[in-house]
Structure 1
Amino acid sequence: MAVYTIIAVAIAANVFFPIPFMTITMTLPFLALVGGSFRLFVGSQTVHEILKQRERLAHFTLYLAAQTLMSVTYPAYQVLFQAAADAGYELTVVALLPIVKLVMRNIIALSLSRMDDMMPEAVVFSVDFFNAFYIITSMQNASSSATVAIIMVADLIHTVVAWKSLRRRASSIIRESRAGGVDLKLPDILDVASFLLRTHKSESKSFAHVQIRSCMTHQLSLENRILLDDLTKATKHHQFPTIRSLEHVGRGSDNPWWSCVWRRTNVVQVQPIIVKTNEQLRPEAKDESQRLDGALKVLFTAECLVLSEYLETFVPVLYTIYIMVMVHLPSAKYHTELSGVTVDTIGSKIQGILAYGLLELLSFVALVALMRRGCGVRSLHHLAFVLETHMPHIQDKLLAWALLTLGSRVVHFGVDFSFKFDWV
């Protein structure tokens, strides 16, 4: 935005340069300009209509606040890690990273509680991106190879535990489905969910807890559109599921990170319903309802897992390419992450990162294969679906977060967690 750039240049030229924590302190002027421009183009009537949607505005504000908090928390963590590395306590600080990751996931998931279909993509390509990025940075600045090895082993154990938990739940659902008459040539959780929906779509009580419509638009075949219409008529109304507490949920938990949802073809008005309890359902319907709920949870969790592993696979490669290019540029001296790094020493700096990237690639390939064989989940289809349908959102996030995380390490952006600001 030209006006925003002019304001920032004017402050830097006439007040102080660098502007302390520029990416944070200049956020309010940026939002004011965006809000004013939006008001100018859409008109006051549209703005008043938007202001009436208080709950959505509250979630939107929380989402923006979470993004801002994340852009401050992770750079602060990096400063803490560097100080701990100098003092020999880096392993203690490394142990804090999963806690930071979990807290940020909770906050962002809460802000998207009415847009469940967007949660995996929104959380993974924001929180997990920052987490993967700062894991790599921690490995780059680690004072010993033991720290790097511990980070790699911890990540591998996390993936194994997650897969075992998913396999246990998926195997139970497939076994119960076959016993209930579902004809499965190959174990496939999606086939289980599809079978239950298609064969029992007239029994609204069985699926009253399932959200039929999605918060996004998808291209569906005529057959699937008819199925959704039939399910809509059977259940009459829909409700958005509430967000479950994530305080004890991780990749190895028996519950998904977020509530499970189903896809839809277009946006509809969502109204609450009175959900029937299991006591009100016939015994067969109880089993079908529980089996469908379990299948959707497995599919949802699998989508989150494969997205996270995919992200952790390519982030090390991108960062390695970035620092190998930057070290040859004259501006490298202004990048704090390249302090003391030269063309001659860059090889030793990226060895650990490349090893971590290779481990993540092997982990991703193994996870995809094991999820297909042991869990009946075609995770590559999940990945392709998200990358295709959410591509604009993913591109926006990756571009914004890459610029923010890398830009915050340039001295011109005024990041100084000692708060001395010697240049002011």
Structure 2
Amino acid sequence: MGADAIRRTKAQPNQFKQYLNNLHAQILMMFVYPIYEALFRTTEGSHFQLLVILLLPIIKVFLKDIVRKSTMHIGDMVPETVIFTVDFFNAIYVATCMQTSSSALSISAITITNILQTVAMLNGLHRRTGSISSKLHNLSQLSSENEKDLLLSVLCSLCRDPEKFKKQNRAGIMIRSCFPHHLSAADTIVLNTLDTAKKETSITRQQSAKPAAVAPYPNSPDSSIRESIFSQQTHCPCFRNRVSFVSPTADSVNVVYPPNQQVKRSTTHKPKLDDTSDHPVILRDSLEALFTIECLVVTTYLEAIIPLFYTTYVLVMIRLPSAKYHTEMVGITHDNVGARILPVFAFGLLEVASLVLLVVTIKRNCMMRAIYQLAFVLESQRSSIQTKLIVWMMITLCFRVMHFGT
């Protein structure tokens, strides 16, 4: 590390503590899930195995809460960190337990548990976003052929129109992201304008010495909502929203475009918005819906590809001489490998169906294409995602070896 690195670390004790908390939370995965797998194998064929299967969703929720609390300081990267840590481990060990289990009852219990979770997820998303569609249609005057991304179009129009934007409840909404994005010149001007206006308003409020000018984030009325979905953060073409401990109150930002900055208007069709005074929370509700959609789509995508990847891994591994040293390959031969991985493959197809249903629900309720949002996350955070996948693959698969050359 060197003396300079040590001095910088000592000068930032809070960041170092947050880093250690995040590191310890991720290391916890390396112990909890192997212990669970050992418990699953121990109860194989007994009446207690059903209880062990029902324990898996509880473990996932518990670990998600731990990782979430340890990563709240990194803003936009909270969903990616939580999903590609906890959900990855959970998906890998679900596939492992299904592949190693010889009981049809155990495999059925795992599948039914997953189906119930999927139904609960879709029902929760439908109830959460069901009212957004009607609000968007009330605000927008788009023709039917231009409604492919109505949610994002309305959000962008709200952000680009100062008169509409200042009527919205913006408690807890921040402008800047914790990592860079490639923006057009027009979007950069809008972003800088909103950011500058917020800073000027904050200074004016402080000089006027009004106690209500700045609202602490933990006491904001929607803090419980943000806490339940990791943190209040979403992305859209205009700006990205993340958590901060201090934010302006609902009516504290008045966006004014500088006279020397002319925003180049896009030639694409933009929705014409009706009066937003009757919908002061449409901006916040839409951003929360975008964040929820991001978490659900990325999670469902990961849970769909992991079983399919695991079946491919087993098919390749059975043909290698080192297969006999891997604990997950015990009892698998060239003759029975197809039967052993068939439940995992069917489980993966079920997850793919869940992803399709989720995309259809989002399209119907929110008028947006969730696949593009998934692609945005995978592209904008590809370095972090690839690093996690490589490291976790090495830990969960390569370390299941009984023979290390001795």
1:81-120 equivalent positions in 2, closer than 5 A: 81-120=40-79
Tell me if structure 1 keeps the 8 A contact 2:78–2:230. Answer: no
Separation in 2, partners of 1:204, 1:271 = 21
- Counterparts of 2:244 and 2:215, CA distance in 1: 6
Task: Name the amino acid aligned to 2:155.
Answer: A
Q: Give 1:381 shift.
A: 0.9
> Match of 1:211, as an amino acid?
M
1:182 paired residue number: 140
Note the residue ranges of structure 2 that are not aligned, 5 or more in a row.
Answer: 203-213, 255-274
Q: Secondary structure at the match of 2:179?
A: coil
Letter aligned with residue 119 of structure 1:
V
Does 1:354 find its partner at 2:348?
no
Asked if 1 retains the 8 angstrom alpha-carbon contact of 2:362 and 2:368, the reply is yes
* Residues 387 and 277 of structure 1: CA distance in aligned 2, closer, same or farther (over 3 Å): closer
- Structure 1-normalised TM-score? 0.76
Shift of 1:290: 2.0
Structure 2 partner of 1:167: 126
Once the two structures are TM-superposed, the CA of residue 354 in structure 1 deviates from its matched residue by: 0.9
| Map of 2:322 onto structure 1 | 331
Structure 1 residues 174-213: aligned runs within 5 Å: 174-179=133-138, 181-185=139-143, 186=147, 188-200=150-162, 203=166, 206-213=169-176
Most deviating of 66-75 and 356-365:
356-365
CA contact (8 A) 1:239 1:273 kept: yes
1:81, 1:90 within 8 Å by CA — same for their partners in 2?
Answer: yes
> For the residues of structure 2 that align with 1:92 and 1:287, how far apart are their CA atoms?
50
Is 1:225 the counterpart of 2:188 in the alignment? yes
Confirm whether residue 157 of structure 1 aligns to residue 116 of structure 2: yes
Match of residue 315, structure 1, among 306, 311, 330 = 306
Partner of 2:35: 76
Aligned with 2:368 (options 363, 367, 377): 377
**What is the aligned residue count?**
363
Give the root-mean-square deviation of aligned CA atoms. Answer: 3.5
Per-residue CA distance 1:364-407 (angstroms, 9 max, x = gap): 12221221123323211111101111111111111110110012
Is 1:145 aligned to 2:110, yes or no? no
SS at match of 1:85: coil
**Which piece of structure 1 moves more, 190-199 or 121-130?**
190-199
Give per-residue Cα distances to partners, 1:338-386, cap 9 Å, x unaligned: 1121111212111101111111112212221221123323211111101
Provide Cα deviations, 1:157-207, integer angstroms capped at 9, x if missing partner.
32232223223332312323443x333442732223223222246628842
Percent of pairs identical after alignment? 35
Paired residues of 2:325 and 2:401 also in contact (CA < 8 A): yes
Q: Which amino acid aligns with 2:246?
A: I
Partner SS state of residue 360, structure 1: helix
1:220–1:385: structure 2 CA closer, same or farther, 3 Å change rule? same
Tell me, which stretches of 5 or more residues in structure 1 are unaligned?
Answer: 1-37, 415-422
TM-score with structure 2 length normalisation? 0.80
Task: Tell me how far apart the structure 1 counterparts of residues 366 and 60 of structure 2 sit (CA, whole Å).
Answer: 26
1:214-260 deviations in Å (ceiling 9; x for gaps): 1010000111111111111222169996699xxx99xxx99534322
Q: Is the 8 A contact 1:169 1:254 kept in 2?
A: no
Query: Partner letter of residue 141 of structure 2?
Result: D
**Structure 1 position 144, deviation (Å):** 2.0
In structure 2, the CA distance between the partners of 1:205 and 1:327, relative to structure 1 (3 Å rule), is: closer
